[in-house]
């Protein structure tokens, strides 16, 4: 067991196979399986302080300041008080510790909330309520409707027909449509008999814990019989039980070993590229500091050897200093203390404050608030804001992220006429908006009130009884695998295996062809108010090869008809030659639908002869019972009967995108951000969404499809693609050269490409592409493309793709998703974004930032990310400049004070310089500065590119700060030194003393760096003005106070600069020196910026000039009109159906009726209040339970 968060158990060997026995805790405990308690927190009460301090002192700067504090405690070398270091260090450590403690407390709170949920467990033959954390592997638990699944369970029995259950997997994959699971018959027969379940002692052997959500392999041994277990019999933690009164399950994996938690991965500490660069720069600064200290120490040794001997009378050496060499050694450490301000500890305090402030801006942004679900944007971490301004690659899930997972019936083509568009009186096509009049379906009492359609001509054709229109909707009401549920008469609810099938059946329902109920042998449809029952003779099921499904029915009049729907390319090959003219017209409509990004299906039918069908049915039965080549024989029979079809028309369904998705992707593409979609959907669906989202465009030179089933095939397809994109990259080399600037990372060189290309790759091909021998080949080809879509990928593959780009590309990555299957990807990327809302919260809990709609990503990156990056870069450049300038004056002064480690400035000025005098102005700039407003940032996405190229803060920019600091320090030392040298006051008294020089130098310094800050500030606010002028006023107020007679009399030792301020600052030559020094410091900066803006203006310069010309007028708003897109794509086919439901429906043992078949005319009362009346439920035949 874990004790205060520490795992006290002996670490067990890696699990190769899971072995457990039902209702036998003693047996299962011998394997030391994890309990159901989860732990996402990092610390506990006892480990917090040591672990947190250990983590903080891993930061080089913190360790350096601790070392500096130890040096300051040695009186022989310290010329500064110890409190000047210990107070800021304690503040930094305490602030960071408090922040970490709050974050971890929230994790503890979340863990307790989950672990303390209640569930019923079967113990000693009785059901007892128990907390989730106490559940163990091998326990049998009872779940009730709308309950979360406690752990990964083997389904034993349920209240439904033959132990069928419906589950919602939104927490796992973001999909809200229900999925069906079914238990083995041997366990399903136990029902809810507690005695039978308590005596169940089946042994399960299965795969060890893993993160594969779509796969499970195992066996159940019960009563000396072995039964095969697969994913259809497993309920995963995170799912929700729906439309099922109760079910029982055997715990297979618990707590951290569940597939949900396995997908969460290990929480890693993410650091920004600026953080990593700062660590490198800090090391360089330490080297520079050591170099300066060595020079000054050598100078001290030489000076003491040559000159110091003559000063022994006035300044005798301490007894502890026997010779000049040892004096030089002590001087080295003294200068380490004095010059430590090149890396002041206040830098890290300020960085944390800036990041916190920019995080609040994200939380407070009303333009990222989603009112429908009352969901604001949230910065869940405060350490990654500036990284949002440097994103180069975005990895996105599809379902629930780009789309709403809602299908709507938008358009159709029937007998050569297109329906769905709205025209005005002049015959001009109108844009459909919320104000467009909707079709009135009040004539149909069974219509779905949520269904919306705008073309009134279609409902008129239905009412007029047009035969082709009736045949069209009759096909939609019969050819499907939907299950109806009727809670009350007329209140129909369709349980569709795929949302697009549900949309088609709902469309037929509203246009007067209401699918009412089904049995294994019949389908009942209400056609224009008349109830008709069709005899269901066969279902020719859908699969990914056939790309179509058919049903054979006998109508009430006795006529046999085959109805078929599928991809246009497939159906067209099977049409009767007489349909050529209609086919050409329908193809034009299909091209229009595909151009609109809609998902299309073609509908056809065929009348069958009785004798032929009886012969075909006999041959079908023979093929379906064949022991060899069963699938091939069935396919031949399907091909035979699905021939010479009569074309009816086509449907066009919109896989409803989230609002603003195409526009957002278009804007991000203009910012040179590459978009990769990683989805578990099949190729046709993902490709269709790619076109709908503007990721794939007709204007692209080519879209490559990688779908080979062998490693060599994938390699050849990748090379062929690269050969078309840029032939010389294939011909010039066989092995790609990879730069290796550091041992830990490798960088793949960028390839410039003429034109735009897209890449679509399947999951099985991607598996080969991610192999070590081919990963560089795959990545290089993919990176040449503007858009990459990976289909049928597993959660692990999503993370692998992200890690591959991180490994070989010097670029910042962002992953965005909404389900548990996206968690590994979100954690692998530099930045993880979770979409919050109805699809589940698992991705949000693991993310760094979250919001409700994909379109907010545009504002997050182009506005908040860019501003945060620019503010942080300006802050760092200015901070390093002002501290180099401040510190290097000490270095030059060392050559004039005998290298004695005497400070230039007053000790109080040294203490307050970073803490008071210069802290608030730079924070004001770093929190409020904007180069352009948010509207202009969105209008010109190209403004984002400098962040991707690290143009504002890099080693080169740091070198400029250093050179600028060296120049300014020379001016700030030698101009005041020359001005004060042999200078007299107006009254003839001497002015050239050390204290007057120190006051003049520090005043010049503060005014010069304040003006430099003003030059760096692009957006002035009242807060900036207050901080700037307030800090200067505070400086003069504190200086005049501390240098007064009163302070000297009260604290003589602490305030020795008596009268210096009033004696110096009343002299005109002092103010003239301040003016001259300030001008010489800022003049080169002003000249350089002016010349650069004139000769080589950046995108920022151009946009800011345009803003100034517009005189604060808003940027032009592009008129957004709906433009019809033309498409050269052959098909817009996409259908998210899965194989197997046809067998499920026609199974003879699938039906449990509630006492009697539900009749639309007669209501049947349920025996239990609140029990949902269900018409029919599909279950699998017992033959599907394969024994070994």
- Residue 211 to residue 1177: CA distance in whole angstroms: 31
- Residue 35 to residue 436: CA distance in whole angstroms: 57
- Residue 866 to residue 763: CA distance in whole angstroms: 35
Nearest to 711, CA basis, from 763, 791, 766, 776: 766
Burial track 795-809 (b if 16+ CB lie within 10 A, e otherwise): bbbbbbbbbbbbebb
- Residue 548 near residue 571, CB atoms below 8 Å: yes
- Residue 1140 near residue 541, CB atoms below 8 Å: yes
900-905 long-range contacts, CB within 8 A, separation 24+: 900/300, 900/331, 901/79, 901/296, 901/300, 901/331, 901/334, 901/335, 901/338, 902/79, 903/79, 903/80, 903/338, 904/973, 904/998, 904/1001, 904/1002, 905/998, 905/1001, 905/1002
Tokens encoding 792: 């049928």
- Residue 190 to residue 197: CA distance in whole angstroms: 7
Which residue, chain included where needed, has tokens 């300066």? 292
- Active site (annotated) includes residue 635: no
Which residue, chain included where needed, has tokens 């429908």? 372
Name the β-bridge partners of 757.
702
- Residue 17 near residue 135, CB atoms below 8 Å: no
Quick one: which H or E segment has residue 292?
Answer: helix 273-306
- Residue 561 near residue 552, CB atoms below 8 Å: yes
DSSP 1031-1073: HHHHHHHHHHHHTSHHHHHHSTTT---TTHHHHHTT-HHHHHH
DSSP 916-985: IITHHHHHHHHHH--SS-HHHHHH-GGGGHHHHTT-SSSHHHHHHHHHHHHHHHHHHHHHHHHHHTT-B-
Its sign, for the CA torsion 431, 437, 442, 446, is: positive
Phi/psi-derived region of residue 415, left when phi > 0, alpha when psi is between -120 and 50, beta in every other case: left
- Residue 1122 to residue 756: CA distance in whole angstroms: 24
246 in helix, strand or coil? Answer: strand
The catalytic position among 397, 906, 929, 931 is 397
- Residue 437 near residue 454, CB atoms below 8 Å: yes
- Residue 151 to residue 33: CA distance in whole angstroms: 13
Tokens encoding 286: 């330490």
218 in helix, strand or coil? Answer: strand
Q: What is the dihedral of CA 106, 110, 112, 114, to 10 degrees?
A: 180
Nearest to 500, CA basis, from 1164, 13, 1159, 1138: 1138
Which residues are catalytic, by number? 397
């Amino acid at each position: 067991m874990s004790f205060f968060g520490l795992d006290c158990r002996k670490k067990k060997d890696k699990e190769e196979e899971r072995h457990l026995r039902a209702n036998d805790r003693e047996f299962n405990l011998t394997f030391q399986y994890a309990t159901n308690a989860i732990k996402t927190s990092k610390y506990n009460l006892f480990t917090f302080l040591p672990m947190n301090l250990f983590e903080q002192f891993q930061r080089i700067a913190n360790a350096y300041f601790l070392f500096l504090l130890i040096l300051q405690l040695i009186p022989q070398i310290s010329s500064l008080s110890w409190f000047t270091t210990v107070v800021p260090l304690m503040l930094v450590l305490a602030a960071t510790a408090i922040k970490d403690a709050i974050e971890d407390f929230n994790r503890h709170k979340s863990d307790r909330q989950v672990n303390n949920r209640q569930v019923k467990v079967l113990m000693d033959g009785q059901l007892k309520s128990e907390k989730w954390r106490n559940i163990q592997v091998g326990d049998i638990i009872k779940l009730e409707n709308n309950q979360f699944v406690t752990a990964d369970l083997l389904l034993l029995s349920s209240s439904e027909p033959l132990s069928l259950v419906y589950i919602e997997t939104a927490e796992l994959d973001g999909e809200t449509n229900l999925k069906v699971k079914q238990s083995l018959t041997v366990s399903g027969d136990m029902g809810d008999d507690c005695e039978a379940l308590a005596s169940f002692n089946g042994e399960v052997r299965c795969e060890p814990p893993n993160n594969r959500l779509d796969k499970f392999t195992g066996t159940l041994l019960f009563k000396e019989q072995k039964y095969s277990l697969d994913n259809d019999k497993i309920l995963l933690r995170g799912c929700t039980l729906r439309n099922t009164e109760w079910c029982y399950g055997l715990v297979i994996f618990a707590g951290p070993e569940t597939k949900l938690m396995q997908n969460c991965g290990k929480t890693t500490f993410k650091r920004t590229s600026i953080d990593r660069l700062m660590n490198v720069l800090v090391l360089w600064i330490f080297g520079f500091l050591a170099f300066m200290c060595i020079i000054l120490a050598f100078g001290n040794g030489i000076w003491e050897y040559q000159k110091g001997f003559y000063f022994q009378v006035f300044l005798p050496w301490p007894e502890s200093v026997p010779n000049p060499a040892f004096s030089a050694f002590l001087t080295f450490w003294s200068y380490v203390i004095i010059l430590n301000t090149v890396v002041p500890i206040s830098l890290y305090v300020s960085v944390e404050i800036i990041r916190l402030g920019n995080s609040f801006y994200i939380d407070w942004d009303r333009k990222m608030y989603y009112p429908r679900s009352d969901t604001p944007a949230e910065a869940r971490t405060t350490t990654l804001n500036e990284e949002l301004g440097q994103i180069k690659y975005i990895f996105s899930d599809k379902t629930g992220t780009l789309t709403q997972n809602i299908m709507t019936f938008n358009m159709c083509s029937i007998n050569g006429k297109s329906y769905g568009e709205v025209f005005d009186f002049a015959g001009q096509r109108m844009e459909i908006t919320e104000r467009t009049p909707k079709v009135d379906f009040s004539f149909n009492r069974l219509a779905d009130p949520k269904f919306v359609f705008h073309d009134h001509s279609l409902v008129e054709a239905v009412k007029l009884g047009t035969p082709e229109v009736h045949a069209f909707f009759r096909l939609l009401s019969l050819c499907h695998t939907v299950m109806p549920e009727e809670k009350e008469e007329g209140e129909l609810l369709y349980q569709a295996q795929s949302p697009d099938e549900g949309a088609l059946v709902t469309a037929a329902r509203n246009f007067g062809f209401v699918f009412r109920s089904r049995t294994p042998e019949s389908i009942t449809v209400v056609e224009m108010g008349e109830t008709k029952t069709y005899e269901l003779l066969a279902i020719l099921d859908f699969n990914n090869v056939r790309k179509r499904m058919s049903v054979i029915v006998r109508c009430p009049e006795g006529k046999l008809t085959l109805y078929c729907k599928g991809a246009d390319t497939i159906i067209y090959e099977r049409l009767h030659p007489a349909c050529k003219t209609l086919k050409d017209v329908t193809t034009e409509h299909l091209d229009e639908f595909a151009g609109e990004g809609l998902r299309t299906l073609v509908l056809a039918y065929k009348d069958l002869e009785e004798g032929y069908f009886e012969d075909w049915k006999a041959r079908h039965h023979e093929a379906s019972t064949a022991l060899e080549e069963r699938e091939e024989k069935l396919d031949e029979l399907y091909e035979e009967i699905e021939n010479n079809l009569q074309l009816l028309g086509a449907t066009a369904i919109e896989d409803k995108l989230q609002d603003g998705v195409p526009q957002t992707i278009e804007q991000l593409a203009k910012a040179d951000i590459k978009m990769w979609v990683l989805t578990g959907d099949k190729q046709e669906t993902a490709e269709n969404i790619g076109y709908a989202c503007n990721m794939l465009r007709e204007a692209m030179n080519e879209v490559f499809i990688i779908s080979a089933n062998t490693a060599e095939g994938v390699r050849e397809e990748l090379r062929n693609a690269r050969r078309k994109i840029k032939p010389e990259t294939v011909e010039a080399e066989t092995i790609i050269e990879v730069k290796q600037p550091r041992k830990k990372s490798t960088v793949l060189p960028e390839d410039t490409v003429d034109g735009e290309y897209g890449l679509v790759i399947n999951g099985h091909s991607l598996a080969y592409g991610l192999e070590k021998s081919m990963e560089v080949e795959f990545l290089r080809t993919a990176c040449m493309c503007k858009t990459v879509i990976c289909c049928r990928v597993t959660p692990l593959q999503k993370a692998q793709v992200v890690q591959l780009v991180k490994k070989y590309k010097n670029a910042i990555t962002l992953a965005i998703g909404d389900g548990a299957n996206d968690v590994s990807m979100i954690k692998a990327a530099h930045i993880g974004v979770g979409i919050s809302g109805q699809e589940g919260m698992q991705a949000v809990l693991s993310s760094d930032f979250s919001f409700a709609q994909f379109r907010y990503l545009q504002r997050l990156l182009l506005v908040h990310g860019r501003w945060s990056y620019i503010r942080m870069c300006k802050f760092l450049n200015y901070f390093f400049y002002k501290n180099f300038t401040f510190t290097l004056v000490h270095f030059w002064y060392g050559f004039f004070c005998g290298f004695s480690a005497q400070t230039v400035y007053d000790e109080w000025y040294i203490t307050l310089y970073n803490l008071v005098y210069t802290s608030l102005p730079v924070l004001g700039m770093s929190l409020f500065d904007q180069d352009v407003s948010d509207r202009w940032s969105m209008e010109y996405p190209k403004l984002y590119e400098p962040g991707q190229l690290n143009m504002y803060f890099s080693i080169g920019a740091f070198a400029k700060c250093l050179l600028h600091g060296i120049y300014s320090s020379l001016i700030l030392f030698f101009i005041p030194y020359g001005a004060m040298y042999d200078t007299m006051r107006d009254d003839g008294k001497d002015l050239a003393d050390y204290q007057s020089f120190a006051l003049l130098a520090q005043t010049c310094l503060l005014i010069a760096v304040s003006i430099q800050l003003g030059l760096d500030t692009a957006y002035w606010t009242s807060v900036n003005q207050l901080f700037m002028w307030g800090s200067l006023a505070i400086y003069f107020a504190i200086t005049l106070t501390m240098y007064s007679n009163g302070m000297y009399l009260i604290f003589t030792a602490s305030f020795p600069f008596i009268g210096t301020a009033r004696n110096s600052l009343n002299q005109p030559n002092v103010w003239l020196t301040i003016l001259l020094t300030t001008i010489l410091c800022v003049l080169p900066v002003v000249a350089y910026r002016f010349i650069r803006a004139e000769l080589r203006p950046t995108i920022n310069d151009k946009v800011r000039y345009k803003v100034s010309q517009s005189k604060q007028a808003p940027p032009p708003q592009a008129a957004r009109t709906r433009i019809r897109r033309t498409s050269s794509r052959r098909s817009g086919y996409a259908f998210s159906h899965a194989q197997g439901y046809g067998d499920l429906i026609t199974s003879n043992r699938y039906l449990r009726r509630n006492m009697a078949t539900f009749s639309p005319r007669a209501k049947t009362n349920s025996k239990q209040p609140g029990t949902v009346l269900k018409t029919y439920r599909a279950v699998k035949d017992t033959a599907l339970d394969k024994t070994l």
